[in-house]
Amino acid sequence: MTTYTAAGRLKAITAGSIGNLVEWYDWYAYAATALYFAPIFFPAGDQTAQLLQTAAVFAAGFFARPVGAWAMGRYSDQFGRKGALKASVVLMCFGSLVIAFCPGAASIGVAAPAILLIARVIQGLALGGEYGASATYMSEVAGKSHRGFWSSFNYVTLIGGQLLSLVILIALRYTIGAEAMAEWGWRVLFVIGAVLAVLAFYLRSRMQESQSFVEAKKSGEELGSTKMLFRKYPRETLTVLGLTAGGSLTFYIYTTYMQKFLTNTGTFTRDQANELSAATLFCFMLAQPLIGFISDKIGRKPLLLMAFGGGALLIWPVMTTVSTATSALAVFFILMGAMLVQAGYTAINAVVKAELYPSHVRTLGVALPYALANATFGGTAEYVALWFKSQGIESGFYIYASIIMAVGFLVVLFMPDTRRHSRILED
């Protein structure tokens, strides 16, 4: 059995991380620029109506992710993590190019939002495959004693992709001005994403296949079987569903919907919302390796209990306070506190899910239930929040989110601590 050297492990983690960052940058560029392109693709109605329609397309991309998760999860378990990771980045590149050059409704009418929807579905297919393959690959090459730390870079790069899209958006806004940004500048983010995807494809072409996959091929087990996943590992699959539902919902509330909430419900301008989002995301990103390191020392379960229990209790006070706050500094510290609690889930969610499954069905097991729950709860977070607001009962969304987090807390109570009961056998 091959053992990774420190340099080899770092090289593998770096290659996986950079590709992951690019994919998530492309995905989040849509959320970051929605305030600018909503009137171009959906010119009718007020800002809430326009954002509601862009949120619906955002959600549609999420519902394509289970299909990508299933197809590429099976491929990854049967033919290798490397090939699945390369395929996902090619699809993401194509989807970004389509959005970058799609004309607005003023030029081609209803075809504009239809093309936007198709491009977003393509990106959803790509990302459905990306999460499972990258989470599995990075967990497998991380090494037993530092698996929580190294696998946390899955979310470092996930958040990093979102942060990069916001930083480029802010830089463009101050470089070319608000008018040019609204007219054409937002498209630049998608062009940059397509170019970065080409670089990610090159790096992934040079990746080493994980030892876990090599051993799985020798095992004689059926690889990547959907039937086996649900028949032999129902408890593990339900656990991933339960963890992802609350974890994804809360993550998207604080990292994507909050940008709109600060302007649409709160008292801040669009530029202030962008800058607040960038600042909190940067600190949130830095917290991931620390939480991952702690999980290697005390276990995964205590951190998950903190994330879901604390998350259920914090949603209401955080959202109600931020909705009326006028101090940007106060909002920063409020959001940062809530997001650090959430880091108890985000930093270790990839390794926890990977440790639940044996290698011959690991990518599919991580990817498919994650994508299903992520589509249902994470992908619809903005839409559900805006629907509650449009009905005049915005606080109903806070109750809804708290309930989903409470369910996740119950799931954690009855699951094993995967650090001590890991099914990743290779070191």
Distance CA 319, CA 324 (A): 9
pLDDT tens digits along 55-112: 788 778 878 888 988 888 888 888 777 888 888 888 999 999 999 999 988 899 888 8
Give residue 219's pLDDT.
64
Angle between helices 234-252 and 301-324 (to 10 degrees): 30
- pLDDT tens-digit profile of 160-212? 888 898 889 889 988 998 889 888 999 999 999 999 888 888 888 777 777 77
Question: CB neighbours of 407 closer than 8 A, spacing ≥ 6?
Answer: 242, 245, 246
Residue 42 phi, psi dihedral angles, 5° rounding = -130, 75
Confidence (pTM):
0.82
Work out whether the CA dihedral 145, 151, 153, 159 comes out positive or negative.
negative
Residue 181, classed as helix, strand or coil, is: helix
What residue ranges do the domains of the chain occupy? 6-413
Return the pLDDT at 243.
Answer: 96
Chain mean pLDDT for the chain = 87
Superfamily, domain 6-413: MFS general substrate transporter like domains (1.20.1250.20)
- In this structure, how many other beta carbons lie within 10 angstroms of the beta carbon of residue 106? 11
Given pLDDT bands bounded at 50, 70 and 90, which one contains residue 225?
confident
Q: Could you tell me how many helices (H) and strands (E) the chain has, helices first?
A: 20, 0
Model pLDDT for residues 237-251, shown as the tens digit of each residue: 999 999 999 999 999
pLDDT beyond 60 at 2: no
What's the CA gap between 226 and 267, in Å, rounded? Answer: 48
Contact 422, 236 (CB under 8 A): no
pLDDT at 145: 80
pLDDT tens by residue, 230-240: 889 999 999 99
Q: Which residues contact 78 (CB under 8 A, 6 or more apart)?
A: 223, 224
Predicted pLDDT at 127: 84
Inter-residue contact 130 to 23 (CB < 8 Å)? yes
User: What per-residue confidence (pLDDT) applies to 1?
Assistant: 46
Q: What span, in angstroms and rounded, lies between the C-alpha atoms of 393 and 37?
A: 27
Take residue 317 and report the two structure tokens written for it.
Answer: 């006070």
For the residues 350-367, what does the mean pLDDT come to?
Answer: 89
Phi first, then psi: give them for residue 266, nearest 5 degrees. Answer: -75, -165
What is the arithmetic mean of pLDDT over 13-29? 82
Q: Is pLDDT above 70 for 224?
A: no
